[in-house]
Each structure stands twice: as C-alpha cells, then as structure tokens.
C-alpha cells in the first residue's frame, strides 16, 4: 500500500461531508422556531385587539392593529357583534393555522437533513473509493 501523504486530504474531504450535514441541521434550527415566534406575536396582537374592541373608537383601533393582526384582521373587521367571541374564534383558528405551518416547517427541515446526509454519504463514499484506487496503484498523481 502506497503512502504519499494524501490520506490527510482524503480524511478532510470525508470530514467535510459530515460537516455539511451538521450545518444543514444548524440552518434548519433557525427556520423551525419561526411559526412559534409568529404565533406569540399574533397572540399579543389579539390581546391588544380584545382591549381595542371595548374602546369607543374600536373600528379605528382595530384598523390600526391590522398590520400586526395580518390575516386575523379579516376575521375581526368590520367591528360588530360579539367581538370577544370573534376574537376567541380567531385565536383558535390562528393557532390551528400556525400549528400546520410549524408541522410543515419541521417536515421540510427533516427532509433537508435527510437529503444532505445522503449527499454527504455519497460524497464520502466517492472520496474513499478514489483514495482506495490511488492507494492500490491506480492512476498516477497528476502533480
């Protein structure tokens, strides 16, 4: 078996295959909490809407909250009827929507990690196969 000092290079390439998997997991961890953060912000906006609904200028106050309420604003405007019940119903609907979104984000993150892992395995296998061929007297080093 020939030792030409290249085994460290091949080991580094193999290590990179696994580093990529770790990095994909780190990036996925930044995306996974987004639905929760949005749900917490929306909860706060709905709390503010519950307070605003009992003010004399409820329509204007809720319209001012519309950017924070996002799609929840459609369920609350125009003002009328039992606003507390409408806000409670929208709170349940918002939680359901964001739960679906959180599940979808988690599934996408898992698939990303699986695909990058498989790519890393293929890359590592190719590097080791190439290293084995050189160690067994394969084609000469072009250096």
What residue spans define the domains of the chain? 7-135
Give dist(CA 130, CA 92) in Å, integer.
57
The CA distances from residue 70 to 4, 39, 105, 133, in Å, are: 63, 11, 20, 60
Question: What's residue 106's pLDDT?
Answer: 85
Helix, strand, coil fractions of the chain, as percent rounded to 5: 80, 0, 20
127 pLDDT above the threshold of 70:
yes
Top-confidence range, 5-14, 52-61, 102-111: 52-61
Question: What's residue 12's pLDDT?
Answer: 78
Tens of pLDDT, residue by residue over 66-87, are: 999 999 999 998 998 899 999 9
Mean pLDDT (the chain, rounded) = 83
Q: Helix or strand or coil: residue 4?
A: coil
The whole model's pTM is what?
A: 0.66
């Amino acid at each position: 078996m020939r030792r030409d000092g290249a085994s460290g290079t091949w080991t580094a390439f193999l290590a990179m295959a696994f580093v990529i998997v770790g990095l994909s997991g780190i990036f996925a961890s930044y995306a996974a909490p987004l639905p929760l953060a949005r749900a917490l912000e929306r909860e706060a906006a709905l709390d503010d809407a519950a307070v605003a609904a009992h003010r004399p200028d409820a329509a204007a106050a809720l319209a001012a909250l519309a950017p924070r309420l996002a799609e929840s604003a459609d369920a609350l405007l125009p003002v009328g009827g039992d606003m507390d019940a409408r806000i409670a119903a929208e709170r349940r609907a918002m939680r359901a929507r964001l739960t679906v979104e959180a599940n979808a984000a988690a599934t996408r993150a898992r698939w990303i990690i699986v695909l990058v892992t498989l790519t890393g395995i293929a890359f590592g296998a190719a590097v080791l196969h190439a290293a084995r061929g050189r160690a067994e007297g394969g084609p000469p080093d072009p250096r």
